[in-house]
Amino acid sequence: MEFINSWAETARGLPLSVQPYLDRTLLKARNPLKIEYHHAEYDVLEDKSTPRNNKEETIYDYIYINEQMIQKLKRQIAAVRLCSSYVALSAFAWRARAKALKMAADQETRILLVVNTRDKFNPPLPKGYFGNAVKFISAVTLAGDMVDKPLSYAVGKVQEAIRSVTDSQLRSGIDYYEVHKTKRPMGCTMISTAWSRLAFGSTDFGWGEPIMTGPVELPVDEVIIFLAHPKEKGSLNAYAGLPTSAMRTFQKLWGEIV
């Protein structure tokens, strides 16, 4: 986001409000390499649920989530545990996706959460660091457990994954990738990311603020992106892709929050 803001300031002929920090060696692998943790985001999960002959078209759609829906979700969970809006929405989406795809009860399912790590390193990354400082962290459970148990169960899994992010865990992940250089397998996985707090809505390249912001397309079908609503403060749009029949169920489950 700092790059976008600096780009917009340059386009308007303004001085940079944040000077770029360009030394990306801050996130290089260690020497010697030291893999201290199990990085479950790279595990391959056996797909027991998707029919081999499944040729159903994938459709992409926005799901409207107003502030009342978010607060209702959080109240449902509050009796067991407190959580942020992002955690509540991510857990609900993960659970709803498993239901919509009719995953087998013994199917392992994974959520990948996109976490900003700038203040997780020790010391934190410098202000203005011009590099990719996000990390995929994962939680895995059986679809049957997640569907049969209250939403607070999925929330607990998500919170546990977020709490695991430390400097040593992040450094271990960098070293792991240096050794294996492997892509994350997407089978039985949902990726959750929130753009709702990014300042896209106030970015001005010289012709005023944008009417709406969002991705042109999803990078992979397994992603759900939570975006700030262009007109309603506190409301969101969730952008997701699913097979046609699963999308209908997915949308219905969100609608039941009201």
Q: What is the pLDDT of residues 132-177, one digit of tens each?
A: 899 999 999 999 999 999 999 999 999 999 999 999 999 999 999 9
Pair 109, 102: CB distance under 8 Å: no
Average pLDDT of the residues of the chain? 92
Q: Is 208 exposed, middle or buried (0-12, 13-18, 19+ CB in 10 A)?
A: exposed
What's 2-255's CATH class? alpha beta
- Measured between alpha carbons, how far is 89 from 140 in angstroms, rounded to an integer? 17
pLDDT at 52 over 70: no
Quote the Cα angle for 245-41-119, to 5°: 115
Mean pLDDT score, 76-81: 86
Mean pLDDT score, 197-211: 84
| Residue spans per domain, the chain | 2-255
pLDDT at 237 over 60: yes
**Residue 200: per-residue pLDDT:** 78
Give Cβ neighbours of residue 121 (< 8 Å, ≥ 6 apart): 26, 167, 170
Helix, coil or strand: residue 205: coil
**Residue 159: per-residue pLDDT:** 96
Q: Which pTM does this prediction carry? A: 0.92
The pLDDT tens digits for 83-138 are 999 999 999 999 999 999 999 999 999 999 999 999 999 999 999 998 889 999 99
pLDDT at 32 over 90: yes
pLDDT at 53 over 60: no
Largest CA distance in the chain: 58
